[in-house]
A and B are shown apart, each in its own frame.
Chain A
Amino acid sequence: QKEVEQDPGPLSVPEGAIVSLNCTYSNSAFQYFMWYRQYSRKGPELLMYTYSSGNKEDGRFTAQVDKSSKYISLFIRDSQPSDSATYLCAMSDSNYQLIWGAGTKLIIKP
């Protein structure tokens, strides 16, 4: 079993829909949780960074961490075609060595 599980998709939704992306993990020592977005032929870029449990909102994006269930989510409201990308979750314990999910390919259809 991988330390971080993420469905590779693709996930295809119509423009304007709410998107939910998820990762599960097995290591209870993880306390830093990140979502990176990667456009085609580009490097990943940090989208959201969360410490421990709870929610964090930034514009149309909300990151949620449930440490009791070892489950993290990224919600995208009012999705746009420009949100089409691969979304990678990553997490670490206190030594900041990131463990990555496989990435979910998201397609927003106009």
Chain B
Amino acid sequence: DTAVSQTPKYLVTQMGNDKSIKCEQNLGHDTMYWYKQDSKKFLKIMFSYNNKELIINETVPNRFSPKSPDKAHLNLHINSLELGDSAVYFCASSLNTGELFFGEGSRLTVL
């Protein structure tokens, strides 16, 4: 069983479109995250939710909107996609110990 699963794994879309990435964890963790990893492999936190409540919201354009319907799910919706949004987006979860469990990533390409 996959601990943190995210879909889709690959997403190719045109500029200006709206897209969503879904994430689910079956580890029973309270905290979930969205990270963006650029082509140089630098991991940048975007959002963190604890028990469905937003606790971290880094400087991210408001075109990005996270939604947590329950503590096992954290989805990411992106409006009006831009070329610079092309990256790999990782979902992760933790028990608030600093040990993060990551999904396999969703590779977004904006043309």
A residues whose Cβ falls under 8 Å from a Cβ of B: 8, 32, 34, 36, 38, 41-46, 49, 86, 88, 90, 92, 96-98, 100, 102-103, 105
Contacts and interface: CB of A to CB of B under 8 A. Distances in A.
Given A42-B105, A43-B90, A98 B41 contact: no
B48 to A, nearest CB: 8
Contacts of B97: 96
List 5 A-B pairs, minimum CB-CB distance, nearest first.
Answer: A43-B102, A103-B41, A96-B98, A100-B43, A32-B98
- On chain B, which size bracket covers the interface? 20 to 34
B100 A98 contact: yes
Contacts of A34: 98-99
Given A43-B4, A45-B102, A103-B42, 13 more contacts: A41-B105, A43-B92, A43-B105, A44-B90, A44-B100, A49-B98, A88-B43, A92-B98, A98-B98, A100-B42, A100-B43, A103-B43, A105-B41
13 contacts: A8-B40, A32-B98, A34-B99, A38-B41, A43-B103, A43-B105, A44-B90, A45-B102, A46-B100, A88-B41, A88-B43, A90-B98, A96-B96
Contacts, number: 51
